[in-house]
Structure formats: structure tokens, C-alpha cells
Structure 1
Amino acid sequence: MSRVLIVDDEPSILKSLQRLLRAAPCCYGGRQFELEVVTASSPLTALQLARTQEFDLFVSDYRMPEMDGIEFLKAARTLWPDAARLILSGYADLNALVRAVNEVGIDRFVGKPWNDYELMSAIGQALAHRQLLLENRQLADLIRLEMGDKSAEQVEAERLERIEPGITRVNWGPDGSVILDDVTD
């Protein structure tokens, strides 16, 4: 199951997208993706969700209060670097599109109003591309392990870091003690 987080400040858009993603099949390249859809009406709420849950795909409106879609996707990428990213916007701003590609590495820019088939195809393509990248990374790690370029410990540490960013870093105190992060935020 692929988890999708949709962020848009317009409730009617969120409901429409949620309805579409639950009803329409999501296929690409012979692969079918079952989608679990989570929505948020603000980028800050979406980032709170992304801090506690893993997502395979982020779909964000471009123009929102608090922060624009590019800033949101940059923040989401730091939390889940392997997640696919799409921007959905009613504004055909070429500078925003270039910025989204250069700064965030979005998979697609989809215009509003969207064509249901094209949107589902873009989502399927983004998820298939993500899956292929993950499989390629696993194969490359196996080859590096076989050739002795990496140890099993390095491969495992990288895998853990992808699952839970920051887990392999230790904060040392000046006296050699381990400083635990404040988990009250």
C-alpha cells in the first residue's frame, strides 16, 4: 500500500482529490498501486503528520498561506527523501515550475483543473519511479557489499537512516556522555 499525503488549503479540492484517489485505479507500467490517502488543509499540519508517519508520495498545492508548495515539499524531502513529490497548481508560473524542479526535484507539475486520467497517471508514474529507485539502490548496495566497497554494517546503517532519518547520529556531550533529544515538541 502506498501512502499519499495531499496538502491544499481548499477543502473542496481535498475532498475531490480524496474521492478520486480512493475510487480510480492507479496503474503504471503494469504495476497497480493501492493508495492510502491522508489530507491536510495546511502545510504546517502536513509537516506534523510527516514527522510521525511515513509517506510514499506528497501532493501539494503551490499557493497556500503559511508557506508555498515548494517550501513545504523541501521540508517534506528532509523528512522523507525517497518520497515522490508532485505540485498541483492553478497558476502556470514558469519561474515557480523551474524553482520546484531545481530546489525540490518534483516528479510532476499538474495544473488545476486537472484531468483525472492524467493525474492518476502522474501519480502512478511517480510511485513506479520511486519503487524503481529503491530497488536500484538495494541492488547497488548488494553489489557494493559483494565487491567489498561497503561493509554489511554500512549498508544496514544507510538502510536505517532512510527509514528513520537521524537514527544513526549520536549527540555527544563535552564530557563524553550521550545527549538525548528533547522529545516533548
Structure 2
Amino acid sequence: MSRILIVDDEESILKSLQRVLRLASCTYGNKTFALEVQAFSSPQEALAATHREDFDLFMSDYRMPGMDGVEFLKAAKAIQPDAARLILSGYADLNALMRAVNEVGIDRFIGKPWNDYELMSAIGQALAHRELLLENRQLANLVRLEMGDTTAEKLEAERLEKIEPGITEVNWGPDGSVVLDPEFLDKS
């Protein structure tokens, strides 16, 4: 199941996107993606959700009050760098598109109003591309392991760090003990 987060300040657009994603088939090549969608009308609420849950794809409107789509996708990328990113816009602003590509590395720019088939195709293509990148990373890690450039322990530490940032850091006390909460460390 591929998890998608959508953010758009217009409720009617959100409802329409949710309906399309619920009813249409998302296929790319011979791969069909089952979709689970969460929609937000506030980029700040959507960003908070990225801290709590993992998503495979972020889709954002470009023009929103408080935070534009590029800013949102840039912040979401910092939290979940492996998620695919799409931007929606009713404005054909070439500068905005170039900024989105250069700053965020979006997978696709989709114009409003969209064609349902093209939207589903773009989502399927972005999800397939994401899977390919993750698979390539995994294969590269296996090659690095075989070549002796890394160890299984380092790879496992990297995997754990992605799941729980900071988990591989240890705070040692002056007496050699492990300090779980540095606030309570006696500073005298």
C-alpha cells in the first residue's frame, strides 16, 4: 500500500483529488499501486503529519497562504527525503516550476485542472521511480558490503537512524554510564 499525503488550501480540490485517487486505478508498467490517501488543507498540519507518519509521495498545491508548495515540499523532503514529490498549480509560472525542480527535486508538475488519467499516470510513475531508487540504494549497499567498503553493522546503524533519528547516538556520563536524559546530568 502506497501512502500519499495531499495538501491544498481549497477543500473542493482536496475532495476531488481524494475521489479520483479512491476510484481510479494507479498503474505504471505492469505494477499496480494500492493507494492510501491523507489530505490536509493546511500545509502546517500536513507537515506535522510528516513527523508522525511515513509517506511514499507528497502532492502539494503551489499557491497556498502561509507556506507555498515549494516551501512545504522542501520541509517535507528534509523529514522524509525518500518520498516522491509532485506539485499542482493552476498557474503556469515557469519560474515557480524551475524553483520547484531545483530546490526540491519534484518528480512532476501537474497543471490544474488536471486530466485524471495523466494524474494517475504521474503518480504511478513517481511511485515506481521511488521504488527503483530504493532498490538501487539497497543493491549499492550490498556491493559496498561485498567490496569491504562498509560493514553490516554500519548498514544496520544507518537503517535504524532513518527509522528513529538519534537512536545511534550515545550520551556518556563522566563515570562511564549511559545518560538517557542529558537534562538531568549533574553539571557541577
Change (3 A) 1:46 1:68: same
Letter in 1 for 2:131: Q
Change (3 A) 1:170 1:103: farther
Distance 1:165 1:27 in 2: 33
- Where does residue 134 of structure 2 map in the other structure? 134
Letter in 2 for 1:156: E
Letter in 1 for 2:129: H
Letter in 2 for 1:121: S
Partners of 1:88 and 1:110 within 8 A in 2: yes
Distance 1:173 1:104 in 2: 40
Letter in 2 for 1:17: L
Structure number with larger C-alpha Rg: 2
Distance 1:138 1:172 in 2: 32
Shift in Å at residue 178 of structure 1? 4.0
- Where does residue 29 of structure 2 map in the other structure? 29
Deviation digits for residues 120-148 of structure 1 (CA, Å, limit 9, x no counterpart): 00000000000000001111101111111
Distance 2:172 2:129 in 1: 38
Contiguous gaps of at least 5 residues in structure 2: 184-188
Contiguous gaps of at least 5 residues in structure 1: none
Q: Would you say how many aligned residue pairs link Structure 1 and Structure 2?
A: 182
Change (3 A) 1:16 1:81: same
Matched, 1:159 2:166: no
Residues 1-185 of structure 1 aligned to structure 2 (within 5 Å): 1-170=1-170, 178=179, 180=181
Change (3 A) 1:12 1:134: same
Partners of 1:24 and 1:120 within 8 A in 2: yes
